[in-house]
Amino acid sequence: MNNRDFQIVVVDGKTLNPGDLSWDGFRSLGEVALYDGTSPAELLGRTASARAIITNKVRITAEAIGELPALEYIGVTATGYDVVDVAAARERRITVTNVPTYGTSSVAQMTMALLLELTQQVGHHDRAVKAGRWSKSDSFCFWDTPLVELAGRTMGIVGLGRIGRAVARLAAAFGMQVIAHTRTQDISGKWPNLPDDIRAVDIDTLFRTADVVSLHCPLSADTANLVDRDRLAMMKPTAYLINASRGPLVAEQDLRDALDQGVIAGAALDVLSSEPPPRDNVLLGAKNCIITPHIAWATLESRSRLLDISVANLQAHLQGNPQNVVH
């Protein structure tokens, strides 16, 4: 039942719900103030009496937390929760939750879509046909980029959580061999419960061996710029890089250089170091580089699950049994 004294402020709702989903789940729990987006200068004014803040990308800093005496809950409508100063929230005994599992299938699907675009160049050939080039052809078909079959090639997955494993299953369905590296190896270097069709390798072996390197690891001090000039130089000249995880995993100038110099065959990225990117981002003009605007998570089904779990997280908090609490 709606508690009119419990104010819920959604600070950037348009990111999750541009209008094709319902906010009624949150409205059933309290009075909802809904904003499409919120700037840092607007945050305190909009959340002054909030007991719950729902955010996707708006940063909730220690300074903001210190100025919001009524605040008891911060719900992040995403898996990553680095937008919240969790330590400051913990000190105030503010519950912080995230949504860890909503987008697995969508992100895995997008990963393969990016790979297929690299290998089949569907968009390029569609544009060529519509520009009249097929009509002018003296043959029943034409292509002007290499077309690459995936069967028999090696997919290298960095990070073997839910999404990494889902990508591994899809890659295997295409007939690819799958190798992987993850931080969750035990002291012997072995992985517990490793699927039979995935071979564990060290990170350098993965970059040297894989025909496709796909990144599915979290961003941390250890993984920032994981893909740099040295790692790119290890890759086969026919290899592809895919990043549908976090932009700063890749040293962007190093990747630009590698693409332009033919060190690797191509890259497909759904994330960049700064989003939206400035017009002078070095990768926007890179050779054989496909960039999509951070949409791997954004299918209707994925966003619907995300919203439903976000509501359930707040409801569990109100019932005194919080779930998906981050630490």
Identify any residues that bridge with 250 across adjacent strands, giving them in sequence order: 227
57, 72, 176, 304 from 179: Cα distances, Å: 33, 44, 10, 32
CB 314 within 8 A of CB 52: yes
Q: Is 91 a catalytic residue?
A: no
CB 103 within 8 A of CB 310: no
Q: Is 67 a catalytic residue?
A: no
Angle ∠(144,129,279) on CA atoms, nearest 5: 75
Which residues, 6 or more positions from 276, have their beta carbon under 8 angstroms from its beta carbon?
293
Pairing state of beta strands 7-10 and 95-97?
A: unpaired
Active-site pick, 153, 231, 246, 256: 246
CB 71 within 8 A of CB 49: no
Pairing state of beta strands 289-291 and 52-55?
A: unpaired
CB 133 within 8 A of CB 284: no
Q: Is 246 a catalytic residue?
A: yes
Active-site pick, 91, 149, 275, 301: 275
The catalytic site residues sit at: 246, 275, 294
